[in-house]
Amino acid sequence: MVINYLALAVPFFLFFIWLEYYIAQKQGKSYFKFNSSIANINVGIAERLIDLFTAGGFYFFYDYLHTHFAIFDIQPSILLWIALLLATDFLWYWYHRFGHEVNLFWGFHVVHHQSEEFNYTAATRITIFQSVVRTAFWSVLPIIGFPAEMITTILLVHGIYPFFTHTRLIGKLGILEYIMVTPSHHRVHHASNEEYLDKNFGDMFIIWDKLFGTFAEEKEEPTYGLTKQLGSYSFLWQHFHFLVEIGYAAKTEKGLLNKLKVIFGRPSSFSPDMRHKAEKKFLAVRKVKVHTTKFRTYVVAQIAFIIIALFLLLLFEHYIPLFLQVMVALFILITLINCGAIMEQRRWVFYLEFVRASLVTITTYYYFPSPTLTGMLILLLITGIAYFSSLQKQYLRLIYGKRKFFE
């Protein structure tokens, strides 16, 4: 049996998230908040899911560049593996630094910094947009002559290490503080304190920050998140809010040059008014005001279900038809949007249930087509439309509780 062993990354990272949570609880430290942690995990699930369809493309991209443009024919050796690791981290430093200093790149990277808590769930906040931008930076490696096999192997190692720097449980690590990126260094990087802004961009080695003048030592307790907190757990809004803000800002400028200055300018000079305009346009939707946390059980159940589905999808990807992979992936993505909307107490979550039911229906009909099933589906559709308002009220009571008031 051919299985995808990379799927084991899912239980691997979940174990350490649980372990950190367990230790923090034992020590009486409130490092985890429900809504924030769930939002963090949602982003991580989406990245792992989309990676299923894109990872192979990254490999072939590196292989194509190496085959057609490689300057040297590098063969694996201990010294060259070390050289590749250093080169990978060096390129990461500059990718990461541009991600904080250029508005367009910050629009892709900001998702990683939205969490107001700092723990292993925050480490999962990686988006497919970031993966694409990083690949563009790392494309230098196959052109130098490093083969795709070496690059992808190093990237796996390079991707695991920073996960463990996202914690408040580990203090300073002595001599390692001078060489490696430690949790202390990375806490500074995720801080919104003025003296910590745009510091410690390294991923594995802190030497680049010390060399290029972007190093800061952790001295006072960091405040985590953005300088202007997002205040939303919406899955979609977290991914696209700053890109929308850039669009609004560019639209107000006259002339192509001024628009480009907005897109490629610095986040520090970006007008904070754009956030309010974007939120007024896209978040001005009626909510359900609730006084209970009943909906949390439903959210946790959904997250547990899609994590299991994701793990099985990744593990047996070679045996699952493409159609079923796509339908499961869409179901998971809609569920992630659903969970974010529920935590925001949005009324329109009910419509997402119709979308999910449609995906299940289409998949079922695809594999088991029959006139009887078609008739049943049409009957269910007619019934759903006829009793739509009543079903919506019952659904909202079910997930939010009986006490609800609409804005």
Q: Report the distance separating Cα 149 and Cα 36, nearest Å.
A: 37
Res 196: pLDDT: 94
For residues 155-178, average pLDDT: 93
Same domain, 36 and 178: yes
pLDDT over threshold 90, residue 361: no
In a domain, 383, yes or no: yes
Res 287: pLDDT: 64
In a domain, 104, yes or no: yes
Which of 193, 212, 231 is where one domain is finished?
A: 212
What confidence tens digit (pLDDT) does each residue in 98-134 have?
999 999 999 999 999 999 999 999 999 988 888 888 8
In a domain, 379, yes or no: yes
In a domain, 347, yes or no: yes
Same domain, 341 and 198: no
Same domain, 77 and 193: yes
CB crowding 86-106: b at 16 or more within 10 Å, else e: ebbbbbbbebbbbbbbbbbbb
pLDDT over threshold 70, residue 286: no
For residues 160-164, average pLDDT: 94
What confidence tens digit (pLDDT) does each residue in 316-352 have?
998 999 999 999 999 999 999 999 988 888 888 888 9
For residues 190-194, average pLDDT: 93
In a domain, 248, yes or no: no
Q: Report the distance separating Cα 289 and Cα 284, nearest Å.
A: 14
Which residue did the predictor score with more confidence, 284 or 153?
153
In a domain, 149, yes or no: yes
> Structure pTM?
0.89
Percent above pLDDT 90 for the chain: 55
For residues 162-168, average pLDDT: 95
- Is the dihedral angle over the CA atoms 390, 391, 395, 398 positive or is it negative? positive
On the 0-12 / 13-18 / 19+ scale of CB atoms within 10 A, 39 is buried
Res 284: pLDDT: 61
Which of 196, 212, 228 is where one domain is finished?
A: 212
Same domain, 194 and 62: yes
Boundaries of domain holding 114:
5-212
List all residues 6 or more positions away from 315 whose beta carbon is below 8 Å from its beta carbon.
3, 4, 7, 8
For residues 27-33, average pLDDT: 92
Q: Report the distance separating Cα 21 and Cα 37, nearest Å.
A: 11
pLDDT over threshold 90, residue 249: no
In a domain, 42, yes or no: yes
For residues 24-42, average pLDDT: 93
Strand partners, 180: 205
SS3 annotation, the chain: CCCCHHHHHHHHHHHHHHHHHHHHHHCCCCCCCHHHHHHHHHHHHHHHHHHHHHHHHHHHHHHHHHHHHCCCCCCCCHHHHHHHHHHHHHHHHHHHHHHHHCHHHHHHHHHHHCCCCCCHHHHCCCCHHHHHHHHHHHCHHHHHCCCHHHHHHHHHHHHHHHHHHCCCCCCCCHHHHHCECCHHHHHHHCECCHHHCCCCCCCCECHHHHHHCCCCCCCCCCCECCCCCCCCCCHHHHHHHHHHHHHHHHHHCCCHHHHHHHHCCCHHHCCCHHHHHHHHHHCCCCEEECCCCCHHHHHHHHHHHHHHHHHHHHHCCCCCCHHHHHHHHHHHHHHHHHHHHHHCCECCHHHHHHHHHHHHHHHHHHHCCCHHHHHHHHHHHHHHHHCHHHHHHHHHHHHHCCCCEEC
Which of 188, 212, 236 is where one domain is finished?
A: 212
Q: Are 49 and 136 in contact (CB under 8 A)?
A: no
pLDDT over threshold 80, residue 291: no
- Is the dihedral angle over the CA atoms 82, 84, 85, 87 positive or is it negative? positive
What confidence tens digit (pLDDT) does each residue in 218-239 have?
999 999 998 888 888 889 899 9
Q: Are 351 and 393 in contact (CB under 8 A)?
A: no
Same domain, 9 and 139: yes
Domains held by the chain: number: 2
Residue whose pair of structure tokens reads 């609800």 in the numeric block:
404
**Angle formed by the axes of helices 322-343 and 34-69, nearest 10°:** 140
Strand partners, 405: 289
Same domain, 66 and 208: yes
